[in-house]
Every structure is written in C-alpha cells, then in structure tokens.
Amino acid sequence: MAFCSCNQFLSSTYPFPIFNKNSKSVPKFLNSRVPQSLQFQAYMSMDQCGVPLTKIKIPHILTVAGSDSGAGAGIQADIKACAARGVYCSSVITAVTAQNTVGVQGVDIVSEAFVSQQLNSVLSDMQVDVVKTGMLPSLGIVNVLCQSLRHFPVRALVVDPVMVSTSGDILAGPSILSVFREELLPMADIITPNIKEASALLGGVQLETIADMCSAAKQLHAMGPRSVLVKGGDLPDSLDAVDIFFDGKQYHELRSSRVKTHNTHGTGCTLASAIAAELAKGSPMLRAIKVAKRYVETALEYGKDIVIGNGPQGPFDHLLRLKRGLYSSTKQMEFNPSDLFLYAVTDSVMNERWGRTMTDAVKAAIEGGATIIQLREKDADTREFLETAKACVEICHFYGKPLLINDRIDVALACDADGVHVGQSDMPAHLVRTLLGPEKIIGVSCKTPEQAKQAWIDGADYIGCGGVYPTNTKANNVTVGLEGLRTVCLASNLPVVAIGGINASNARSVIELGMPNLEGVAVVSALFDRENILSETRNLHASLIQAVSKVKS
Ligand SMILES: Nc1ncnc2c1ncn2[C@@H]1O[C@H](COP(=O)(O)OP(=O)(O)OP(=O)(O)O)[C@@H](O)[C@H]1O
Ligand SMILES: Cc1ncc(CO)c(N)n1
Ligand SMILES: [Mg+2]
C-alpha cells in the first residue's frame, strides 16, 4: 500500500506541528477501499518508505555565535558539547574567525540582515527550546537577535557575553556594551561572563578574588538577568576552578579541581552550551550548571594530553574519544566472517583445574590456530575480570586476532575489546550496538529462525547457534542438533558459528552440513579442558581444514 509523504502528516496530539502544516493535500489513500480507521492507524505509524513515524521531541538548542576555524571554541564547540550532552543543536553564525591555538588572525562579521535571516529560518520552523549566545560582534547583530527573541519566545536564554578570546584578541568591542546591558541581559535567564567580561560589563573594575567575583555577580544581576555565573577559569593563583553563581538571593561557590592542562580553549563556550542543554532537558538552573561544570571538567581531564596545534592554548576533547587510539596498542579489529573458523571460548574453572593462567591458555589457543577468542567469565570479580581482559586484549592484538567479551558490555568498553557476545537473556543487541558504536563486533546466540532474523535487524555481526551437541559447559541448555543449526543458517542473513559439544571428531559432521554461511565452530572444553591446549587446537584446526576441503570437492 502506498502512503503519503511525511510532510502531510499532522498529529492532533503532538504539541508542535512536526511537519509542514501548510500542506493542504488530502492523502490519496483516504479514497481507497481500506476502512478509514485502519488507514489512519497505518498512516500514523509509518511513512511511504515503511519508516515508523515515531514522534519524539528532541531537546533543541540554538547557538547564535561565531565560527572558530580551529574548532575549539565558538559554534564548533557548541555543536560538539550539545552532541556530547545528547541534545540537538542548530546554529546561527554571527562571524567567521580565522583562529588557531596561537590566536585570532582575522574576523569577518556576518551582516545583521543575514544574521536576521538565519534566525528567522531556524526559529520560525524548528521548535527551539533554549537559545545560547556566544560571539555577538556588532550592535546591529545584538539588536536583530533581541527582535527575533521577542518575536519567537523560547523557554530559556543563556548569554555567554564573549568579548575577548583567551589569547587576548577582541571578539566584540565596547560598542556593544550599552545594547548588551540595556536589551540582551534583561532577557537572559543566565549570563556567564568570565572574569575579564564581568569586569568589562561593569565598566572596568578589577576582579581578583572570590569576594570580588561575588560582588560582580550581584552588580551584574542588577542589570536584569535572572541569574549570573561568574567563571573563574582565569582567576589568578587559584588551585581550584571556582565559579560563583548568584540567583538573586543566594550565592553558590562551585568548585572543582583544576585540570593541569594547556588544552582549555573553548571552556566558556562549552560550559554555556552544556548549561543550555541541561535546561532544555528540563533541569533547574543550579542543577544544569553543576552538571555542565562536571562535564567540562571531565572533558578537560580526558583531553589534557592531546596535542593539536603549536600555540599556548589547545582545544580539548568534547566527545571524550580522541585519546582512545593513543592507548590501545593496535586499532580495532575489522570483523571478517572467516574469523569464526575456529572460535575459542575460554573457561577459567577449566584453567584452574589444569593449573594455568588465562593469558597462557589464550596464547596457546591462538598459536594452535584459534581465529577469534571470547572471554567467558561467570563468577570472577569485575576488577579481576577486567585485568584479565586487558591482558588478553594485548595478547590477541599481538597475534592479530579479535577478542570478544561474553555478556559484559561494561568490561568490553573498559578494556577496549573488539566486541561482545550476548545471549537471548542478556542485553538486546540493538542496545549493545548503541552502547558500543558502529565499529565493534557483536555476536548473538540464536536457537530459532526468528531469533536469527532479529539479530540481523538489531545490527549484530554474526550468530552463534547451538547447542549442536549435548554439553556440560552450559547448564539447562537446549540442544538444537544439526537440524536446528541448518534451520538457523537458512534463516540467517548473518554468518553463523556452531557451538555446543563440538570437538575434533564431530566437527566434520557440522562442516559437512555445507551451509554457505556457516563459517566455523566454537569450542570450550575441547580446547581448554585438556592438558595440552596447543596440540588440541592444532588437531581441531586440521580436522576443520580437512572437512572444508571435502565439502568443497
Ligand atoms: N583547568 C581547568 N580545570 C577545570 N575547570 C576549568 C579549567 N579552566 C576552566 N575551567 C572551568 O571551565 C569553565 C569555563 O570557564 P573559563 O573561565 O575558562 O571561561 P572562558 O574564559 O569564557 O573560556 P574560553 O574563553 O576559553 O571559552 C568554568 O566552569 C571554569 O571553572
Ligand atoms: C568564535 C569564538 N567564539 C568564542 C570564543 C571564546 O572562547 C572564541 N575564541 N572564538
Ligand atoms: Mg569565554
């Protein structure tokens, strides 16, 4: 059945018009023979491409700020901070700066008419919750912004009164001060000046102590904003990063440890965007500031050692990810279905029985021909498991083999494993994919065609199917047999690895099923509950090679 396009969809229950409300055309199918109530349900639930029309209002920040070509501050910082804090961010650009870690080499101011046009485009259409302002380089731009805000009121306004970059370059001159004081500040729910900006707004008073910051916050509050945060990132001789929040009644001293780093370019823009993000999610002001400050501190800590540029003040890591590559000895393994050929699943109880360490067992299995390792740990302490997992990642990567973690997504993330394997009662694979991201390898245990189809929809990379034969390794495990394995392979769009009671003598029957997407066998006891892992793995590998060549011939 053909359905009409998205922009003809209007919901009477949704508080905002989601799609083009000017569309007057009546959906064609309303004239067809399908009962109208059914048509409406179908219409409500999917578009012409079969895409579900789920109505979710995303918190939306509009940043009105300047572009920083070095991308540590300005619009670029705002968008990254909003992405990190899980809100949508649109952007009205007021100026384009040529800027790097050394300083600001040039500024090109966008005309007020074009700033106005951008504001109109976004505010007239996109359901903005909170506006956050940064660099507002001309009096005209501040004026058109105030006009737009009066015309399109939003839930909250966060004003970061950007004037001077940390490098000392002027981003907005004294000409804007009067319109700032008279027009913009009284509309703001919060203003977030740093020490220099607070001083400039107050006509040049010196601010050197926390008491000075409190007094400045009070005087700025008298100019009309609902609350004031004076930021102390540049407070001389302060061991902590101290900010003062004044809500008109009470002062709050917000203190965090000062991260020892030169990578602090853009902390102010980032803090203001993160405050806006929390407000858009519904937090009250003080809570929004505390969360935002904690986020800035975490991001600074995370990015304190990164090197970008040669200047005195580098950018940091808004998404807390850049550092990852530096510490892992090798990059994430790319998944190849042939990795499933001889899939070794570890068992620490068996290792104890034979008096060996996990790392020795993993090493022996790989040297014997294992093509992928899964660490399966049911009882160990998390900390002990993590340490073992880290050591095993190193070994596996040394040999160029992927390492997966059974069940424990947290451990997989913490040791930067190549992926995880989950069962039907563990976390659903689509959530695992969300948590681990697009690169990691995800395997799912499936016993039925339905489970196999779901694993594919959920974004898994492979299916583990079993128990093929009865096994003691897993209690109460249903044996699906070779026939069950065949059914799952036939139903699956994904590569399959067979598991359950497989060893060197019966592996051949599994391979001889001849299913094109059956890539290999997974084994526990046949390798690890034996005296010599190396020779057992070699044997199994040889049997598999033999079986495959027989199937091919
Ligand atoms: N080294 C640091 N460690 C922890 N927090 C810091 C550090 N430097 C700044 N901050 C915090 O970052 C936030 C931004 O304050 P800051 O005074 O740096 O703003 P700013 O001067 O406007 O920044 P920028 O102009 O670089 O964007 C404040 O909450 C401040 O306490
Ligand atoms: C564009 C821009 N906005 C704000 C700041 C303040 O950090 C900066 N350096 N550059
Ligand atoms: Mg600033």
Point out the ligand nearest to the CA of residue 231: 1
**Residue 397 — pLDDT band, cuts 50, 70, 90?**
very high
At CA 523, angle to CA 519 and CA 525, rounded to 5?
A: 170
pLDDT of 37 > 90? The answer is: no
Q: What is the mean pLDDT of residues 197-202?
A: 94
Model pLDDT, residue 25: 35
452, 446 in Cβ contact below 8 A?
A: yes
pLDDT of 24 > 60? The answer is: no
Q: Which residue's alpha carbon is at the smallest distance from atom 10 of ligand 1?
A: 233
**Residue 9 — pLDDT band, cuts 50, 70, 90?**
very low
Model pLDDT, residue 416: 92
Q: What share of the chain is helix, strand, coil (3-state, %, to 5)?
A: 40, 15, 40
Of 129-143, 199-213, 221-235, 474-488, the least confident: 474-488
Q: Which residue's alpha carbon is at the smallest distance from atom 3 of ligand 2?
A: 74
Is the shortest distance between the CB of 231 and ligand 1 below 6 Å? yes
By most ligand atoms within 8 Å of CB, the mutation choice from 92, 162, 166, 316 for ligand 2 is 162
DSSP state of 59: P
**Residue 333 — pLDDT band, cuts 50, 70, 90?**
confident
Q: Which of 227-236, 323-332, 512-521 has the highest mean pLDDT?
A: 512-521
Q: Which residue's alpha carbon is at the smallest distance from atom 10 of ligand 2?
A: 74
Distance CA 446, CA 322 (A): 35
Residue the block writes with tokens 């068996």: 350
Of 315, 317, 316, 313, residue with least CA distance to 102: 313
Of 117, 130, 133, 119, residue with least CA distance to 64: 133
**Residue 175 — pLDDT band, cuts 50, 70, 90?**
confident
By most ligand atoms within 8 Å of CB, the mutation choice from 75, 78, 159, 231 for ligand 1 is 231
Phi/psi-derived region of residue 477, left when phi > 0, alpha when psi is between -120 and 50, beta in every other case: beta
Phi/psi-derived region of residue 400, left when phi > 0, alpha when psi is between -120 and 50, beta in every other case: left
Q: What is the mean pLDDT of residues 294-312?
A: 94
The DSSP secondary structure of 489-527, one letter per residue, reads HHH-SS-EEEESS--TTTHHHHHTT--TTEEEEEESHHH
404, 396 in Cβ contact below 8 A?
A: no
Distance CA 287, CA 3 (A): 45
**Residue 331 — pLDDT band, cuts 50, 70, 90?**
low
As beta bridge partners, residue 191 has: 159, 228
- Going from the C-alpha of 90 to that of each of 65, 121, 349, the distances in angstroms are 11, 11, 54
Q: What is the mean pLDDT of residues 267-281?
A: 98
Q: At what angle do helices 285-302 and 74-84 cross, to 10 degrees?
A: 100
Residue 331 backbone dihedrals phi, psi, to 5 degrees: -80, 165
Point out the ligand nearest to the CA of residue 269: 1
Q: Which atom of ligand 2 is nearest to the CA of 104?
A: 9
pLDDT tens digits for range 54-76: 788 999 999 999 999 999 999 99
Is the shortest distance between the CB of 66 and ligand 2 below 6 Å? yes
Residue 445 backbone dihedrals phi, psi, to 5 degrees: -75, 130
Q: Which residue's alpha carbon is at the smallest distance from atom 20 of ligand 1?
A: 268
User: Rounded to two decimals, what is the model's pTM?
Assistant: 0.83
Is the shortest distance between the CB of 466 and ligand 2 below 6 Å? no
By most ligand atoms within 8 Å of CB, the mutation choice from 160, 197, 201, 264 for ligand 1 is 264
Residue the block writes with tokens 């340490």: 387
Of 168, 218, 160, residue with least CA distance to 189: 160
**Residue 316 — pLDDT band, cuts 50, 70, 90?**
very high
CA 472 from centroid of its chain's CA atoms = 40
Q: Which residues surround ligand 3, an ion (CB under 5 A)?
A: 194, 268
Q: How far is the CA of 191 from the centre of ligand 2 (A)?
A: 16
Model pLDDT, residue 44: 53
280, 61 in Cβ contact below 8 A?
A: yes
The DSSP secondary structure of 335-375, one letter per residue, reads P-GGGGTEEEE--HHHHHHTT--HHHHHHHHHHHT--EEEE
Distance CA 367, CA 371 (A): 10
Q: Which atom of ligand 1 is nearest to the CA of 235?
A: 17
Report the amino acid identity of residue 72. Answer: G
Is the shortest distance between the CB of 373 and ligand 2 below 6 Å? no
As beta bridge partners, residue 521 has: 342, 498
497, 340 in Cβ contact below 8 A?
A: yes
**Higher per-residue confidence, 178 vs 3:** 178
Q: Which residue's alpha carbon is at the smallest distance from atom 23 of ligand 1?
A: 268
Give catalytic residue positions: 231, 264, 266-269
| Per-residue H/E/C for 237-273 | CCCEEEEEEECCCCEEEEEEECCCCCCCCCHHHHHHH
Q: Which residue's alpha carbon is at the smallest distance from atom 4 of ligand 2?
A: 74
**Residue 399 — pLDDT band, cuts 50, 70, 90?**
very high
For 539, half-sphere exposure in the C-beta direction (CA atoms, 13 angstrom radius) is 15
Q: What is the ipTM of this complex?
A: 0.96
Q: What is the mean pLDDT of residues 35-61?
A: 68
Distance CA 195, CA 193 (A): 6
Structure-block tokens of residue 109: 């101011």
499 Cβ contact partners less than 8 Å away, ≥ 6 residues apart: 343, 345, 445, 464, 465, 466, 467, 468, 521, 522, 523
Is the shortest distance between the CB of 301 and ligand 1 below 6 Å? no
Q: At what angle do helices 112-123 and 139-151 cross, to 10 degrees?
A: 20
Longest dimension (CA), the chain: 89
Model pLDDT, residue 471: 84
At CA 279, angle to CA 276 and CA 283, rounded to 5?
A: 145
Model pLDDT, residue 112: 98
Q: What percent of the chain has pLDDT over 90?
A: 80
Q: Which atom of ligand 1 is nearest to the CA of 234?
A: 17
Model pLDDT, residue 82: 98
Q: How far is the CA of 270 from the centre of ligand 3 (A)?
A: 9
Distance CA 100, CA 315 (A): 9
Q: How far is the CA of 253 from the centre of ligand 3 (A)?
A: 19
